Every structure is written in C-alpha cells, then in structure tokens.
Amino acid sequence: MERLAKRVFLIGWDGADWKMINPLLEKGQMPNLERFINGGVMGNIASLTPMLSPILWTSIATGKHADKHEILGFAEPDGATGNIRPVTSTSRKCKAIWNILSERGLKAGVVNWFASHPAEKINGFVVTDRFPHAAGPPDKEWPVPANAVHPVELIEELRDCRVHPAATTPMQILPFIPKLAELDHAKDSNLHQLRMLLATCATTHSAATWLMHTRECDFIGVYYDTVDRFAHAFMEYHPPKMDHVSDKDLEQYKDVMNGCYRFHDMMLGRIMELAGEDTTIILLSDHGFHCDRLRPTGSSKIKDGRPVAWHRLHGILAINGPNIKKDQRVYGASLLDIAPTILGMLGCPVPKDMDGHVLTQIFDSEPVDFDEIDTCETPQDDAAAFDAEEDPWVAQEMLSRLAALGYIEDGGTEGVLLDRARNLGQVYASTGRPAKAIEQYEKVLSKKPDDKACKIAIALCHLQMGQLDQCEQAIKGILTDQADAPQANLYMGMIAFRRGQTDKALRYLQRAEKADPRLPGLHCQIGNVYLRRKRWADAERSFNKAMTIDGDSAEAHDGLGVAYRWRKRPEEAVYEHMQSIALLHHRPQTHIHLGLALADVGRIDWAIRAFNVALEQNPANPFPHRCLAQLYERAKKDPVKAERHRQLARVRAEQRSQQAGVDDQDA
C-alpha cells in the first residue's frame, strides 16, 4: 500500500494537558506548538485505566490493552533473583511499533521509552529508559548501563549527551524559579528534584536530537517524562493558591509549571527544525493533569505509590505533516489508536488484534482502505533472546529513584505482585470484564484482607454485573465511617437507581452532593435519575452543573443530549452527543443516543452508522438491532435487512436474558 508519510516522529509528553497549554498559547508563550497545531490537527486523546505511565506508554507503543502486553506497573519480579526490578522490555508480551517496523525492513529508533531496557536489537537504534538517569556523584566516572544502547557503537557518540544534575546552572533554573536566590540550595528538596528532573530531560533531548540529526530512520519515538514528574512535584504550587500551600512556597514555586511547558515548547521547536517539512510528527500525552479547581485536596506529590488521583482522563494529541489536514480538530482518539495509525501512515498492514484503529479522519485525502493482517505476533524465538545481563547497582538506583518519587510502595516482591494484580483488575473492569477483575482483586485481598480500595472495586464489579444485593452488602460492610459517607451515599444511590427506586436513589445522591458538591460524576448520576423520572429540565440542570465543574465530562455531554432530545431539541442533542463521542469514542450507549437523535432530524444514513458503531463496540446489545430494523423498514424500505436485524435482536435478547441482572441499554 502507498505510504502517506515519508517518516514519522512520535513525541511523548507525559501528563501534558491542554488546560495548561491553552493559556500559554493565548499569551504567545508556546510559539512552536502554536505553529505546529495551526499547520495540522489537534484534539483530546482518551487515556486508559489505570492511568499509570508504564502501562499507558506500552499500550501506545503496542496498540493493545495491558492484559495483552503485561507491563502492569513501574516494577516487576525478577525471576532469576527473586528480587524486584524496574519493568523491562523482556517482560513485554507483544511487539512494539519499532519491532513491527524493523521486521518489515524499515529503520526505527526509540529513546527513553518506558520498559525499553534492555535495548532490543532492531533495525535502527534503541536508547533505553536507563540511559538518561545520572548515577553517582558528579566527580566520578558515570558509566553507561549495560544493554542501555543498541547498537553498542553508539555509546561513544551518546556519552557526551548526558547531563548530570550537578551540572545544571542557576541561569538554567531561573526560568522555573525566578526567586532562586531566596532558596537554601543545600537543603531545598524541591530545588534538588527540579535539577534532577531537568538533567534527565536534557539528556533525553540531547540524545534524541543527536540521533535525529545523524541517523536516517522511518520512525523515531522519543518519550519525555518531565511534565508529569514536574507536575507531581510542583502543580500544588500553581496558581490559584491551594489551602495547604503557604504564601512563601507559592511565591517561590508558582512559575515552575509554566516554565516546564515553555521549556518543552523550545525542545519541540528544535525537533521540528531537525525533522523538516517532509516528516510527520505526532505529539501526544498519555493523560492530562489537573491544574485548576478540580485538583484533589492535599499535595500533588505521590505519597502511596498511586499517582493517579491528579491525573485527568484526557491528554493532548497534535499531528502535523504531509497529507495531514491543516488547522483542524481530531475527535474521539484513544491511546490505542496511535500504533495502528503509524503503521497505516508508513504503508504497513494493520494487525486486527490491535485494540485501536487507524485515525482516518486526520488525512486530507479521501478515506483510505488500509491493509490488514490478523496479527504481527509470532512464537517467542529463544535463539533471538536478549543478552539481558542486568547491572544490579543500576537497577537498584532506578528502584530507589522510583521509590523516592512515590511510584512504588514498600513491600518487596509480594507488594509488587499485588500491585500488578490490582492494576490488571482495573484493566479488566474498565474493559467490561468484571468477573475477571474480581479474580485479580481477590488475589490482593488474600494477602491484604483490609485493602479497602480492592473491596470497593469488587463491589463496583458486582454493580457492573447487575449483582445488586452483593454490591449493597459489600458497600455497607466497607464504607462505615462518617468520612466515607459521600462515597457510600453515591454508591447506594447507584444501586437504588439500578433497582428502579428513583426516589430512594435521589435521596442518597443528594446527601452525597451536600457532602461534596465538586464531583462531576455525582451530578451526572443525579441527572440520570431525573431522566428516568422524565424530569427533563431538572436533568438538564444537573448535567450542566457537571459540565460547569468539568467541561470535558463525556458522560455529562451525553446526558445533556438525552435531555435535549426529550425536550424536542434534537439538533442540540446531536451536538452534545457528538461532543461526548469526541471526548470518549468507546462508549456504546452514546452512539445509540446519537443514532436516535440523528433519526429525529432525518439523518438516516448517519443514524444507521451510529447504531452500527454501537454494535461494533458492544455486539451483545439487542437494542441497536431493534433501531436498525425500524430504520430499514420505515425509512430505507428494505424489508430484508429489517428482518435480519429483528432476528439478531431476538437472538441477542435471548442470550442476554440468560445473564441475570444484565440490563438492556435501552434509551
């Protein structure tokens, strides 16, 4: 198939968020990014659950959920020693984009990607995530870790690209902390961490730009973790002032996050210069990062190995290059779509076993039919196994650094295994496999019987499966303290709603709202109760309240669309459902609601497409088949297709009736 891109550069900014970027663009303080998005497409990209960087960046590189690639956290057990180690490339159970391209004869390169160590022997180069981190004092020799670079002859070229934290100068720190002179340089832990993160970022960028300049490749992927790590260290100091932050700390560190983004804009400018106009550049983040009134209470620093409280579901996506639309929006993108899109751009067949799809909407030409194959995976070839010799000192340094940053908890090998089980449970729950999720959560509870988070997760899985009595019993046994009352009332309201007890549900949800009115999901639940009770105006107010708190709530836009449709405002309903899909494409019920609204305005072909998308995402639901049967019979005058969908609806309904407690997603 014809290539749509001569070469592709994939640039990852971990944790970058349009909410931080847009004000800087408006002030002209990120000129390179402004030029980039004006000449290409931009939009949100939906993250995955759990929002942990090693998992997400591996899903970006593979196009697959974590239960397939099996990178399930920051650390993993080392089968040879029984100790724990940072996650490695040898533990990834499916091929990354650079493996696939290399096997097809294309040259690929990757710098600092999560779980890329030891360096894989591909047709191109690999600089692993062990390479950028300083090891030892500045006056000592700083060896490159074993297996951190492929091919090994690149080591001498890249050795001088590394920057030690001690080599950072006051002039380099001042854009982040203008009042640097007021700090105690020897004792200020924030300053120490900033210098360490800045040096790591500079090393990554130096190595990447040198390789871009000296090596011709069809694909290069570079990962910068700095935005996310800066944000965990300094977002609590970003204006407006948070209650727990002192006036002194606010004055000292309030400029750090803006400085971080402006620094990344400078690096992007250099990459654009090196890439040239004939290169397609994809810039994305794996998730966003709360920076406004939705920031959680307390510190942004990671205290318990679970950094996700500050993470936001929507990251950034921008694409610029030949055959890409200019100054346009991209809608409904997922992290899983990046790998198949790159393969399609470079003329390679797209594996059907990838969980994402090619973002065909970004191209300025007519829709392209991309070649497909069943899979790129092959049985493990033992003869091609890595010389995965590990430097235990370097591995321990990496673990110590991750622990200091709060990314892993104490608990040794057992703690890591439990964390992986917990994360896998979240993957299963978020992808509609609650029974498998419960199996993982129960593994955690067998070792940590007091783990409240796992107990709540199991209760929600029972709710997901329609097992309402089990869910209610679990919630009443877990959330007993007064501090738990908002959460308990929310869940009890959801249970009552599923039982059809709307008065009771509303009482529970209003108690939760009184205790904590900042939760957009809570207002969406209240809106859903009003929809069930046909109180359309009240529902509209609730969903609007949710969007006032978080304008990127896909659930709120969808619910508002349903309210508009019942209030005989179908055009506005179509708009809100489209907004919801743009934020979160993989939500079958939204496509159903869109199909109903499109049918109301006479867009029959579009409505048929919406119902078909709903079926692609949830083939077991009979309701879209019923809708399609009516459209084909009444609007398209096609009795054959109408009867086929009626039959399929009956089959799906019979199958569903055998699964006790599973509701039909009827609108």
Question: Over the chain, what is the mean pLDDT?
Answer: 91
Q: What's the confidence (pLDDT) of residue 411? A: 59
How far apart, in whole angstroms, are the C-alpha atoms of residue 268 and residue 342? 19
Asked whether the predicted pLDDT for residue 199 surpasses 90, the reply is: yes
Tell which residue, 162, 232, 202, 255, has the closest CA to residue 404: 232
Using the Cα atoms of residue 400, residue 405, residue 407 and residue 412 in order, give the sign of their dihedral.
Answer: positive
- Overall pTM > 0.75: yes
Provide the token pair at 665.
Answer: 């997603």
Instruction: Please work out, in degrees rounded to the nearest 5, the angle formed at the alpha carbon of residue 247 by the alpha carbons of 246 and 252.
Output: 100
Q: What's the confidence (pLDDT) of residue 394? A: 59
**Each residue of 589-644: pLDDT tens digit?**
999 999 999 999 999 999 999 999 999 999 999 999 999 999 999 999 999 999 99
- Whether 99 and 390 have beta carbons less than 8 Å apart is answered as no
**Higher-confidence position of 394 and 183:** 183
Instruction: Please work out, in degrees rounded to the nearest 5, the angle formed at the alpha carbon of residue 471 by the alpha carbons of 467 and 474.
Output: 145
Using the Cα atoms of residue 158, residue 279, residue 274 and residue 289 in order, give the sign of their dihedral.
Answer: negative
- Whether 73 and 419 have beta carbons less than 8 Å apart is answered as yes
Q: What's the confidence (pLDDT) of residue 308? A: 85
Query: pLDDT band at 513, cuts 50/70/90?
Result: very high
Q: What's the confidence (pLDDT) of residue 661? A: 46
User: Which sequence spans correspond to the domains of the chain?
Assistant: 8-390
Q: What's the confidence (pLDDT) of residue 667? A: 43
- From the CB of residue 646, how many other CB atoms can be counted at a distance below 10 Å? 18
Query: pLDDT band at 246, cuts 50/70/90?
Result: very high
Q: What's the confidence (pLDDT) of residue 401? A: 62
Q: What contacts 606, CB < 8 A, 6 or more positions away?
A: 598
**C-alpha to C-alpha distances, 453 to 125, 270, 326, 414, 423, nearest whole angstrom:** 42, 44, 45, 18, 12
Q: What's the confidence (pLDDT) of residue 383? A: 35
3-state secondary structure 45-61: EECCCCCCHHHHHHHHH
Tell which residue, 575, 509, 558, 563, has the closest CA to residue 539: 563
Query: pLDDT band at 141, cuts 50/70/90?
Result: confident
How far apart, in whole angstroms, are the C-alpha atoms of residue 626 and residue 605? 16
How far apart, in whole angstroms, are the C-alpha atoms of residue 205 and residue 217? 17
How far apart, in whole angstroms, are the C-alpha atoms of residue 311 and residue 295? 9
| Mean pLDDT within 153-175 | 93
Q: What's the confidence (pLDDT) of residue 395? A: 63
- Residue 77: DSSP 8-state: E
Q: What's the confidence (pLDDT) of residue 307? A: 67
| Mean pLDDT within 482-498 | 90
Q: What's the confidence (pLDDT) of residue 440? A: 98
Q: What's the confidence (pLDDT) of residue 399? A: 65
How far apart, in whole angstroms, are the C-alpha atoms of residue 34 and residue 22? 10
Tell which residue, 352, 403, 396, has the closest CA to residue 373: 352
Tell which residue, 260, 149, 167, 166, has the closest CA to residue 207: 149
- From the CB of residue 577, how many other CB atoms can be counted at a distance below 10 Å? 30
Q: What's the confidence (pLDDT) of residue 410? A: 59
- Residue 363: DSSP 8-state: B
Q: What is the DSSP string of 164-183?
A: -GGG--HHHHTTT-TTGGGS
How far apart, in whole angstroms, are the C-alpha atoms of residue 134 and residue 192? 13
Q: What's the confidence (pLDDT) of residue 77? A: 85
Q: What's the confidence (pLDDT) of residue 78? A: 81
Kind and range of the H or E run holding 26:
helix 18-26
Asked whether the predicted pLDDT for residue 197 surpasses 50, the reply is: yes
- Whether 283 and 265 have beta carbons less than 8 Å apart is answered as no
| Mean pLDDT within 491-503 | 96
CATH of the domain spanning 8-390: 3.40.720.10
